Homo-oligomer: A and B are copies of this chain.
Amino acid sequence: MRRLLLSLSLLAFAGVQSPTYADVDTGLNADSIEQARLLRDSAMAGSEAYDIVESLTTEVGPRLAGTEAEARARDWAVEKMKSLGFENVRVEPFEMETWVRGEEHAELLAPFPQPLSITALGGSVATAADGLEGELAIFESLDALREAPEGSLKGKIAYIGNAMQQTQTGASYGYYGAARREGAVVAAQKGASGLLIRSIGTDSHRFPHTGKMTYKEGVAKIPAAALSNPDADQIERIAQYGKTLRVRFTQTPKIVGTTQSGNVIGEIVGRERPDEVVIIGGHLDSWDLGTGAVDDGAGVAIAAAAAKKLLDAGLRPRRTVRVIFWGAEEVGLLGGFAYLERHRADLEKHVLGTESDFGAGRAWQLNAQVSEPGQAVVDSIARLVAPIGISPGNMDSPGAGPDLIPMVQAGMPSLRFTQNGMDYFDLHHTHDDTLDKIEAEALDQNVAAFAVFAWLVAESTVNFWR
């Protein structure tokens, strides 16, 4: 049995390895591959990625979607793209309804009075100016809250304590994050007047994590905030005493109305097929608490530094490499949807794309979903990035990063380099997402992968669409 499994896994490995540029007419040749190798090695030896994320997080800092800070980030991006030497640098603006944070503080009133560290969830309504006070109704999960009888939380504040653990892939974020995304709706349906959740984060520091939440038409909009993990531990420890917990929390976020966001775009225009586009990017907006270093200054930096490697090598591939710094990702992929809207007519000219938006850790796996001829190019990429620690993963898995979801849902093929996100949710959406958490060498390894990707896909002639 063990031998059988081994054989199967060898076959699977062989399957990834077998088609090459020699078998399929990809438009690539030995020179193209050698060029990719040189790009890779050059990036591994050092890239501009760290300097770019340092510049963004220092000169702009936090850049919440739709705000004047995000507008300053676009100005920074246009200037940065021009200085890097990209062509056709431009902003594709779109409008959005913009939410901003206000004051926020909380306290446990009984049985053991003490302050609590909270932050409003993105999109939450405000409490009254003097706060929202109530007894806590403790639930260990969103599922447990769903099972509470209708109306049973009248006048109470619901608390959801589900604790996410670290995973390398971030696999748990979808499940646990539901408490943040949907918790306020479920709590309101049960009659609650407010929601407090344990942060959707894996650290043990006094940082509450923000992130997008949503309301539902016809369900009361109640204020929702996250407690830091140590504060959530404290709440759950006190609940063990069997006493009633009373809390008061105050937060004054508001919708400031319709403002402008935008995607910032720069290109290396293709030498033969300029209308065929390969996208690389990261998102420019960040939550407002930290300086958006790992989320997603790192992604912006990786994509830009990778394209810069092509320029430095004097390479102009057949197809256009389009670097996109996406706007307003955090609040609902608004940049991704706006881009699809604007480019729907030429959607199929978008050959393939990928985005870096999972922190600043090293990439360790390559996943894709492309046509059979396209797979030959993906296999070439796989062979070139394997020596820098990136192994072939699932080759029938859609996904290219959040801002490409709208296009991938519309049929666009996809590829992604999976980063090591073990500590990503320690930092993500907190005050602590700052430059000091980033290691230049790890960025450079991602740049190497992105440069290989951008060059080979843009230099190839195959159709990746299935």
Residues of chain A having any CB pair with chain B under 8 Å:
54, 58-62, 69, 108, 112-115, 117, 204-207, 229-230, 233-234, 237-238, 290-291, 430-432, 434-437
Smallest CB–CB gap between A105 and chain B, Å?
A: 9
Neighbouring B residues of A60 by C-beta, 8 Å: 112, 114
- Measured CB to CB, the nearest residue on chain B to A60 is B112
Q: What residues of B have a CB within 8 angstroms of the CB of A115 in the complex?
A: 61-62
Residue of B at shortest CB range from A76?
A: B112
Is there an interface contact between A436 and B62, defined as CB atoms closer than 8 Å? no
CA distance A54 to B237 in the complex (A): 9
Most chain B CB atoms below 10 A, which of A115, A234, A434? A434
Q: Indicate if the CB atoms of A230 and B58 lie closer than 8 Å.
A: no
Residues of B within 8 A of A206 (CB): 207, 290, 430-432, 434
Cβ-neighbour of A436 out of B59, B204, B238, B435 (below 8 A): B204
The listed residue (B58, B69, B117, B290) touching A238 by CB distance below 8 A is B58
Docked complex Cα distance between A225 and B291 (Å): 21
Q: Report B-chain residues with C-beta under 8 Å of the C-beta of A112.
A: 58-61
Residues of B within 8 A of A435 (CB): 230, 233-234, 237
A114 partner residues in chain B, CB cutoff 8 A: 60-62, 69, 291
Q: Which residues of B contact A117 (CB under 8 A)?
A: 431
Give the residue name and chain of the B residue nearest to A68 (CB). B113
A230 touches B434 (CB 8 A): yes
A292 to chain B, nearest CB (A): 11
Contact between A291 and B234, CB atoms less than 8 A apart: yes
With A60-B114, A205-B205, A233-B435 known, 8 other A-B pairs at CB within 8 A are A58-B237, A58-B238, A61-B113, A69-B113, A205-B432, A206-B434, A230-B435, A234-B435
Instruction: Identify which of B230, B234, B436 contacts A230 (C-beta below 8 A).
Output: B436
A379 to B234: give the CA distance in the assembly, Å: 42
Interfacial chain B residues near A113, Cβ < 8 Å: 61, 69
- The residue of chain B having its C-beta at the shortest distance from the C-beta of A230 within the complex is B434
Least distance between A174 CB and chain B CB atoms (Å): 26
Tell me, in angstroms, the Cα distance from A230 to B234 when the chains sit together: 27
Closest to A234 in B: B58
Nearest B residue (CB) for A59: B112
Q: How far is the CB of A72 from chain B (nearest CB, A)?
A: 8
Residues of B within 8 A of A59 (CB): 112
Task: Identify which of A112, A113, A205, A435 gathers the most chain B CB atoms within 10 Å of its CB.
Answer: A205
Nearest 6 pairs of A and B residues by beta carbon: A61-B114, A230-B434, A206-B431, A206-B432, A204-B436, A59-B112
A194 to B252, CA, bound (A): 30
- Chain B residue numbers with a CB within 8 Å of A437 are 204
Q: Chain B nearest CB: distance from A75 CB in Å?
A: 12
Alpha-carbon distance between A238 and B437 when the two chains are bound, in angstroms: 18
Tell me how far the C-beta of A210 lies from the nearest C-beta in chain B, rounded to whole angstroms: 14
Q: What are the residues of chain B within 8 A of A290 when measuring CB–CB?
A: 206
Q: How far is the CB of A424 from chain B (nearest CB, A)?
A: 16
